[in-house]
Amino acid sequence: MSQRVLTTESGAPVADNQNSATAGAGGPLLLQDQHLLEKLARFNRERIPERVVHARGSGAYGYFEVTDDVTGFTRADFLSEVGRRTETFIRFSTVADSLGGADAVRDPRGFALKFYTNEGNYDLVGNNTPVFFIKDPVKFPDFIHSQKRDPFTGRQEPDNVWDFWANSPEATHQITWLMGDRGIPASYRHMNGFGSHTYQWTNAEGEAFFVKYHFKTNQGVRSLSAEQAAELVGQDASSHQTDLLQAIERGVNPSWTLYVQVMPAAEAADYRFNPFDVTKVWPHGDYPLQRVGRLVLDRNPDNVFAEVEQAAFSPNNFVPGIGPSPDKMLQGRLFAYADAQRYRLGINHTQLPVNAPKAATVDNYGRDGLHATRYGSRQDKNYEPNSYAGPAQTGLPLASPLAVSGWTGTHEAPLHTKDDDFFQAGELYRLMSDEEKGRLIANIAGGLSQVTRDDVIEKNLAHFHAADAEYGKRVEEAVRALRED
State the Cα–Cα distance between residues 306 and 312, nearest whole angstrom: 11
Strand extents, DSSP E, 137-228: 193-194, 199-202, 208-217
Burial code of 235-262, b = ≥16 C-beta within 10 A, e = fewer? Answer: eebebbbebbbebbeeeeebbbbbbbbb
How far apart are the C-alpha atoms of 320 and 248, rounded to whole Å? 32
Contacts of 315 (CB under 8 A, 6+ apart): 123, 124, 125, 197, 324, 330, 333, 334, 337
Choose among 139, 264, 281, 137: nearest CA to 197.
281
In tens digits, the chain (485 residues) has pLDDT values of: 889 999 999 999 999 999 999 999 999 999 999 999 999 999 999 999 999 999 999 999 999 999 999 999 999 999 999 999 999 999 999 999 999 999 999 999 999 999 999 999 999 999 999 999 999 999 999 999 999 999 999 999 999 999 999 999 999 999 999 999 999 999 999 999 999 999 999 999 999 999 999 999 999 999 999 999 999 999 999 999 999 999 999 999 999 999 999 999 999 999 999 999 999 999 999 999 999 999 999 999 999 999 999 999 999 999 999 999 999 999 999 999 999 999 999 999 999 999 999 999 998 888 888 888 877 777 788 888 999 988 899 998 889 988 888 888 888 877 788 889 999 999 999 999 999 999 999 999 999 999 999 999 999 999 999 999 999 999 999 999 999 87
Q: What is the 3-state secondary structure (H, E, C) of 262-309?
A: EEEHHHCCCCCCCCCCCCCCCCCCCCCCEEEEEEEEEECCCCHHHHHH
User: Is it true that the peptide bond before 28 is cis, omega within 30 degrees of 0?
Assistant: no
Q: Which pTM value belongs to this model?
A: 0.94
Catalytic residues: 54, 127
- In 102-198, at which residue ranges do the beta strands (DSSP E only) sit? 109-117, 120-127, 193-194
Q: Is 166 helix (H, G, I), strand (E, B) or coil?
A: helix
Nearest to 359 by CA among 117, 51, 145, 22: 117
Any idea what the Cα angle at residue 189 is, between residues 188 and 191, rounded to 5°?
70
CA atoms of 179 and 446, how far apart (whole Å): 10
